[in-house]
Amino acid sequence: MLYRTLMMVAAVFLCSVVSVQAAPAANINASRAFEMVEKQEDLYILDVRTPQEFFQARLEGAKLIPISQLQGRVDELPKSRPILVYCAVGSRSGAVASYLARLGFDRVYNLYGGIYAWQLRRYPVLKGPG
C-alpha cells in the first residue's frame, strides 16, 4: 500500500512538471556513487524517500526532502554543486533527478538501484533518527 501511494505521488509529481530543454540527469550505479561520496567533498546528497524510510537507513550526510515536498523546497538545493539523488530502488530519485535537470541543475546523478543497491554492496549507512 505504501509503495502504491508513493508511486502515485511520483506520477502526480511528474505530470505537474513543465518540460524544458536541459541536459539529462545521469544514472549511476552504487559503485560509482560510493566513489563520488568518498572523493567529492562538495557533493550534495539528496534523499527523496519518506521520513520513515530515511530513519531505517540513509547515506551519511544525506539531506531529506521527500518527493512530495520537493517542488516547494527546490530552492534549498544548491545549483553550484553536484547532486546525488537516491530513494529505495531508483524510480522516485530518477524522476526527481530528471526534474532537477529540467530546472537547470547541470550536475545531477540518480543512484540507480537506490539504497538497496548501495546496501547490497555493503556500503555504510546510518540508521535511526539523526
What local confidence, expressed as pLDDT, does residue 129 receive? 84
The pLDDT tens digits of the residues spanning 51-63 come to 999 999 999 999 9
Boundaries of domain holding 102: 1-10+43-130
Cα 21 to Cα 24, 79, 98, 105, 111: the distances in Å are 9, 17, 11, 12, 22
pTM as predicted: 0.84
Please indicate, yes or no, if residue 6 is contained in any of the structural domains.
Answer: yes
What local confidence, expressed as pLDDT, does residue 6 receive? 55
Which residue from 43, 49, 46 is spatially nearest to 7, judged by alpha carbons? 49
Please indicate, yes or no, if residue 19 is contained in any of the structural domains.
Answer: no
Residue 11 makes CB contacts below 8 A (sequence gap 6+) with none
Please indicate, yes or no, if residue 3 is contained in any of the structural domains.
Answer: yes
CATH number of the domain to which 119 belongs = 3.40.250.10
Mean pLDDT of 3-25: 56
